Structure 1
């Protein structure tokens, strides 16, 4: 069975080498450093690479290289962020494509090991506060935008209501004691305001929206 290769995007130091040794020993993974633009070649011909990125001490790699990497392999490259600060928020997380793990500076090696095992098993590992932020973010995106009620006069609503039960403009005119021309004028305005194109669409719109309008004894009939 092939070992999982982890790509450590961090500067070479005593600390980064200690992390590499820890991951090798405790997770049974191979590790390769990406500390320069030249070492990005390690990612070539690698399927679904997992990058462990030290966001507190990123190597000096031109941003254009990262843009190219993520744009060309957006669905394959996954990232795990290490040494995040207390101010690291949801908006910062969204800057990293396919991020599946976040470990703050205060994270212990034991917690890193437990989280990485979850990630290697196909799960995500995020702080609870950040998970709550993301849930709120996506719930908000999924909610339909609040629609402002269409501004219909009382008489326009009367005409629209009768449209659901009457077959002709004459029937509506007789029910409201107005002329057929007046009914046509009201319907024209209703169609325009509700953005419908015919009587059937207007009836369907009325069935969904008309009940939302509150009756007011002070309204002027227009």
Structure 2
């Protein structure tokens, strides 16, 4: 069984590029899970008691390749995020953040997406889903159900379709395509559903990225979650 991890800043540079921190009470579950994550993903995993052990050590460059995996067992996940932002308001931008042991039915998911959470894992999820999700998050994906993303984007779109910068207003077709991108649709799927050619889809996506000033589909999805 692991003991509580205490790291010095000079030791951080020697760690692997990818590193996962499990934040929560140092219970047997988290200790065992850390070992399983390392074995199944080859990603270094450390268990720490609170977020201060992480944010007090990492600098911006190191933090870019780190995942904070926060144990919400018996806790309100919104309080977990508030604690994180209280210590460092930029943490959700500097780090990959995911929550696990989330109780279903809390109606919290949409708020989490808006604040930059990259993944949500529920109490009943098997370990296989957790390990797969961790790898996906490090690969730049969101580990959040399409249903939640679609609901959030559509509801936000109905509430306020006025974009922050009038010069970057999207056409109705571009907004439609951006919504489909946000839920993981491929170019071919978009073309089939909208009855347009794949080349036309590519042109629309190029224009969307240019208007909202994002480099890729992930950033476009995050932008849509916050602005549509």
The TM-score normalised by the length of structure 2 is 0.52
1:135 aligns with 2:147: no
Alignment check: 8 A CA contact 2:85 2:91 kept: no
Alpha-carbon offset, residue 135 of structure 1 = 2.1
| 3-state SS of 1:99 partner | coil
> 1:22 maps to which residue?
36
| CA shift in 2, pair 1:18/1:131, >3 Å | same
Q: 2:48 aligns with which of 31, 34, 37?
A: 34
> 2:185 maps to which residue?
none
The residue correspondences of 1:10-159 to structure 2 (distance < 5 A) are 10-36=24-50, 39-40=53-54, 43-45=57-59, 46-48=62-64, 49-57=66-74, 66-90=84-108, 93-94=111-112, 97-144=115-162
| CA shift in 2, pair 1:37/1:78, >3 Å | closer
| 3-state SS of 1:94 partner | helix
Q: Which runs of 5 or more structure 2 residues have no equivalent in the other structure?
A: 1-14, 164-228
| CA shift in 2, pair 1:93/1:9, >3 Å | farther
| 3-state SS of 1:88 partner | coil
Q: Which runs of 5 or more structure 1 residues have no equivalent in the other structure?
A: 146-222
Alignment check: 8 A CA contact 1:79 1:96 kept: no
Alignment check: 8 A CA contact 1:37 1:62 kept: no
Alpha-carbon offset, residue 136 of structure 1 = 1.7
| 3-state SS of 1:135 partner | helix
Report the structure, 1 or 2, having the larger helix content: 2
| 3-state SS of 2:68 partner | strand
Larger radius of gyration: 1
The TM-score normalised by the length of structure 1 is 0.54
Alpha-carbon offset, residue 64 of structure 1 = 8.0
Deviating beyond 4 angstroms after TM superposition, the runs of 4 or more aligned structure 1 residues are: 61-65
Give me the whole-angstrom Cα distance separating, in 2, the residues matched to 1:85 and 1:135.
22
Alpha-carbon offset, residue 142 of structure 1 = 4.8
| 3-state SS of 1:6 partner | strand
> 1:2 maps to which residue?
16
Q: Which structure's relative contact order is higher, taking Cα pairs within 8 Å and 6+ residues apart?
A: 2
Alpha-carbon offset, residue 43 of structure 1 = 4.0
RMSD: 3.2
| 3-state SS of 1:80 partner | strand
| 3-state SS of 2:63 partner | coil
Give me the whole-angstrom Cα distance separating, in 1, the residues matched to 2:88 and 2:55.
14
